């Protein structure tokens, strides 16, 4: 009996250890519908194909967490989802490993321009666009110039309470060409111009901070127009609440995979990243959420009606401005301080 119990305990230990070995990658993302789509398109297929487990974590983009792990050499995350500006800043500060697409078999010509960065690779494309309630307006707006026209389009407007994106929209509304936005915004004159333009509609602004808020404000009629993350407005929501979006003047950017410097399973992590960027997995991801595939080969696999809803549809992408992550890495802190002071007045 004692021998049998010892054997059973040993067997249990072996099974437990094998499960521990199988749980060999910890992937941290932003959560919500985005994570749900990742589970369906990336995590489950990876586990089925490789027989190993993904431990999925969540965070809110706090780079301090990544920095603390790297500085103390206690990195427990294998890959982390980061926004473009944080990726650029973290790369400069030595927080992430370099990630060469050639080493994991990726052909850069198949990716949306800007997706491939020295320390990370974009796996999704999202846009911040103008959305409006069709039942609250007599005519449809065509861009940010109309957003600023409170006489022709009366009612409250929603904007994110952040300098990033809000300042770009102000300059576009003021007639600045898409290609010149960041060149101008890098100057004091350009920054002053953007804030002066915001002054024009400040009394009409209802600020939002969480991505779920703009669709709620629009559906309730609290605002007639708002900036919004395109992935927050599905075709079902638009139809149900009489909402629509304008791609012209939208800002598109990437969420990327990055590897914290000093992570212990880098070879396996690179295999996972390559797996998520495969056209089949990218197609699946774009079917589960309204974010565009960074791998353009995946777009060719999607239904044409689905393609039209995504920011990476050629007709939609051509009307937008790519967010400049290096600009925000260099100027973000100063501009956010000025913006917060301006918004509080």
Q: What is the pLDDT of residue 211?
A: 84
Q: How do the pLDDT tens digits run along the chain, 345 residues long?
A: 444 443 344 333 433 333 444 448 999 998 878 899 999 999 999 999 998 899 999 988 889 999 999 999 999 999 999 999 899 999 999 999 999 999 899 999 999 999 999 999 999 999 999 999 999 999 999 999 999 999 999 999 999 999 999 999 999 999 999 999 999 999 999 999 999 999 999 999 999 998 889 999 999 999 999 999 998 887 778 888 899 999 999 999 999 999 999 999 999 999 999 999 999 999 999 999 999 999 999 999 999 999 999 999 999 999 999 999 889 989 999 999 999 999 999
Task: Mark whether 208 and 340 lie in a shared domain.
Answer: yes
Q: What is the pLDDT of residue 121?
A: 97
Task: Mark whether 249 and 145 lie in a shared domain.
Answer: yes
Task: Mark whether 158 and 237 lie in a shared domain.
Answer: yes
The reply to whether the predicted model has a pTM over 0.85 is no
Q: What is the pLDDT of residue 210?
A: 84
Cβ(159)–Cβ(207) below 8 Å: yes
Q: What is the pLDDT of residue 187?
A: 98
Task: Mark whether 188 and 332 lie in a shared domain.
Answer: yes
Task: Mark whether 144 and 264 lie in a shared domain.
Answer: no
Task: Mark whether 325 and 192 lie in a shared domain.
Answer: yes
Its domain, for residue 163, covers 126-253+321-344
CA distance 98 to 309: 33
- Secondary structure percentages of the chain, helix, strand, coil, to 5: 50, 20, 30
Task: Mark whether 8 and 50 lie in a shared domain.
Answer: yes
CA distance 327 to 335: 11
Q: What is the pLDDT of residue 179?
A: 97
CA neighbours closer than 13 Å in the CB half-sphere of residue 232: 19
Beta carbons within 8 Å of 118's beta carbon, 6+ residues apart:
91, 98, 99
Q: Angle CA(251)–CA(257)–CA(260) in degrees, nearest 5?
A: 125
The answer to whether position 307 is within a domain reads no
CATH label of the domain that carries residue 22 = 3.40.190.10
Task: Mark whether 170 and 157 lie in a shared domain.
Answer: yes
Cβ(339)–Cβ(162) below 8 Å: yes
The answer to whether position 315 is within a domain reads no
Backbone dihedral angles phi then psi of residue 276, each to the nearest 5 degrees: -70, -20
Q: What is the pLDDT of residue 6?
A: 38
Beta carbons within 8 Å of 31's beta carbon, 6+ residues apart:
58
């Amino acid at each position: 009996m004692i021998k049998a119990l010892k054997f059973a305990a040993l067997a249990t230990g072996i099974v437990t250890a094998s499960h521990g070995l199988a749980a060999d990658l910890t992937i941290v993302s932003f959560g919500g519908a985005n994570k749900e789509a990742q589970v369906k398109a990336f995590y489950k297929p990876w586990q089925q194909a490789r027989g190993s487990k993904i431990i999925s974590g969540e965070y809110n983009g706090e780079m301090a967490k990544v920095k603390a792990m790297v500085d103390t050499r206690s990195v427990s995350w294998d890959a982390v989802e980061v926004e473009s500006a944080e990726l650029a800043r973290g790369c400069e500060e030595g927080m992430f490993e370099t990630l060469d697409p050639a080493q994991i078999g990726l052909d850069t010509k198949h990716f949306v321009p800007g997706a491939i960065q020295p320390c990370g690779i974009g796996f999704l494309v999202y846009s911040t666009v103008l959305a409006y309630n069709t039942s609250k307006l007599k005519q449809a707006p065509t861009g940010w110039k109309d957003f600023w026209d409170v006489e022709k389009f009366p009612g409250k407007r929603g904007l994110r309470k952040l300098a990033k994106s809000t300042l770009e929209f102000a300059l576009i509304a003021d007639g600045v060409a898409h290609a010149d936005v960041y060149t101008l915004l890098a100057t004091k004159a350009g920054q002053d111009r953007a804030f002066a333009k915001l002054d024009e509609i400040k009394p009409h602004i209802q600020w939002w901070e969480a991505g779920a808020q703009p669709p709620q404000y629009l559906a309730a009629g609290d605002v007639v127009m708002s900036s919004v993350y395109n992935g927050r407005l599905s075709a079902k929501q638009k139809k149900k609440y009489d909402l629509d979006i304008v791609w012209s003047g939208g800002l598109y950017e990437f969420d990327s995979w990055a590897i914290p410097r000093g992570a212990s399973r880098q070879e396996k992590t690179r295999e996972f990243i390559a797996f998520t960027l495969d056209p089949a997995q990218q197609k699946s991801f774009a079917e589960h959420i309204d974010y565009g595939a960074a791998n353009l080969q995946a777009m060719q696999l999607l239904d044409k009606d689905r393609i039209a809803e995504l920011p990476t549809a050629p007709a939609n992408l051509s009307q937008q401005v790519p967010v400049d992550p290096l600009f925000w890495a260099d100027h973000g802190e100063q501009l956010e301080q000025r913006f917060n002071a301006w918004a509080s007045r």
